[in-house]
């Protein structure tokens, strides 16, 4: 019992120390995606990270565990590559005291491209891959526009939105959380963005599943003779029977 208490206190102390658990100083990081039932997870260790920004609230962050030389080689189709490219679109830098922060807050959209490779040869065959997308909340240390930014993500959710034939969705819908750091490098961010988008374009368009909770709108029948106005009948919308002579 005492051992558990000490471990719990140490964990709380670690979380309370800035720069230890919530943030990191080296480019990269770990953002863990966990399935809804908690039985499966994906936790790549990102080794390449860069960001660019539009204004003080808007930034595009790219992280990957794929070799940088392969990402930047236009002749490499990544046919045998296995890894992840993550795109975070931050659209609001929360300001303490001004920005509401709770479990439902959202200031970032997430797109995570999972590349699982193929049996083809590198440079000649596109990989098998799936795109997961969602949103969450990112708390930044440092300001957008600085030489580097670090962030901690909480409350993130995701689901598979599109994939190439043969991709096995082993994650399903779930949650994503963790921490990252990225240097401001517009050239590298542009290169990562170009490769990311080129791979996404190779996948079929997303197919949206129908929502069973959405009911079709009732069709109202216009009565004979027009009647002017909007042409919509009242009540049940059925055509009234003809009047008796």
The dihedral built from the CA positions of residue 181, 25, 153 and 159, taken in this order, carries a sign that is positive
The token duo for 48 is 């390449």
User: What phi and psi, each to the nearest 5 degrees, are found at residue 117?
Assistant: 75, 175
Helical H runs in 37-101?
68-71
In the prediction, which pLDDT does 207 show? 57
**CB under 8 Å to 72, separation ≥6 — which residues?**
191, 195
Would you give the end-to-end CA distance of the chain in angstroms?
92
CA angle (158 as vertex; 80, 69 as ends), nearest 5: 30
pLDDT at 18: 37
Instruction: Establish if 234 belongs to a structural domain.
Output: no
Asked whether the beta carbons of 123 and 151 are under 8 A apart, the reply is no
- C-alpha separations of 112 from 14, 104, 108, 241 in Å: 28, 21, 13, 59
User: Out of 3-7, 150-154, 165-169, which region has the weakest mean confidence (pLDDT)?
Assistant: 3-7
* pLDDT at 245 (0 to 100): 55
| Residue 117: predicted pLDDT | 85
Q: Please report the pLDDT score of residue 19 as a whole number.
A: 37
Domain with 177, as residue range(s), is: 27-200
Instruction: Express each pLDDT in 126-145 by its tens digit.
Output: 899 999 999 999 999 999 99
User: Is 153 a domain residue?
Assistant: yes
In a domain, residue 7? The reply is no
* Contacts (Cβ under 8 Å, ≥6 apart) of 13: none
Torsion 137-142-143-149 (CA) sign: negative
Give the chain's domain count.
1
pLDDT band per the 50, 70, 90 thresholds, residue 233: very low
pTM: 0.73
**211 inside domain:** no
pLDDT digits (tens, 9 = 90+) for 17-51: 333 344 444 678 999 999 999 999 999 999 999 99
In this structure, is residue 151 part of a structural domain? yes
Domain assignment present for 135: yes
Q: Is residue 209 part of a domain?
A: no
Distances from the Cα of 166 to the Cα of 1, 76, 115, angstroms: 49, 21, 12
In a domain, 134, yes or no: yes
């Amino acid at each position: 019992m005492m051992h558990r208490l000490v471990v719990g206190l140490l964990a709380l102390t670690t979380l309370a120390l800035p720069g230890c658990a919530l943030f990191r100083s080296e480019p990269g990081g770990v953002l863990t995606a966990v399935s809804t039932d908690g039985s499966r997870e994906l936790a790549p260790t990102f080794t390449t990270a860069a960001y660019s920004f539009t204004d003080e609230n808007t930034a595009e962050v790219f992280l990957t565990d794929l070799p940088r030389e392969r990402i930047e080689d236009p002749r490499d189709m990544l046919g045998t590559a296995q890894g992840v490219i993550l795109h975070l679109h931050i659209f609001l830098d929360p300001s303490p005291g001004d920005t509401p922060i709770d479990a439902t807050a959202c200031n970032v959209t997430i797109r995570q491209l999972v590349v699982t490779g193929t049996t083809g040869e590198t440079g000649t065959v596109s990989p098998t891959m799936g795109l997961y997308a969602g949103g969450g909340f990112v708390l930044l240390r440092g300001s957008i526009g600085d030489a580097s930014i670090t962030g901690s993500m909480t409350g993130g959710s995701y689901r598979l939105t599109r994939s190439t034939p043969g991709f096995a969705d082993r994650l399903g819908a779930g949650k994503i959380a963790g921490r990252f750091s990225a240097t401001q490098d517009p050239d590298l961010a542009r290169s990562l963005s170009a490769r990311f988008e080129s791979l996404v374009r190779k996948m079929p368009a997303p197919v949206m599943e129908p929502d069973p909770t959405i009911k079709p709108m009732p069709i109202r029948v216009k009565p004979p003779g027009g009647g002017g106005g909007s042409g919509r009948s009242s009540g049940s919308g059925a055509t009234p029977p003809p009047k008796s002579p």
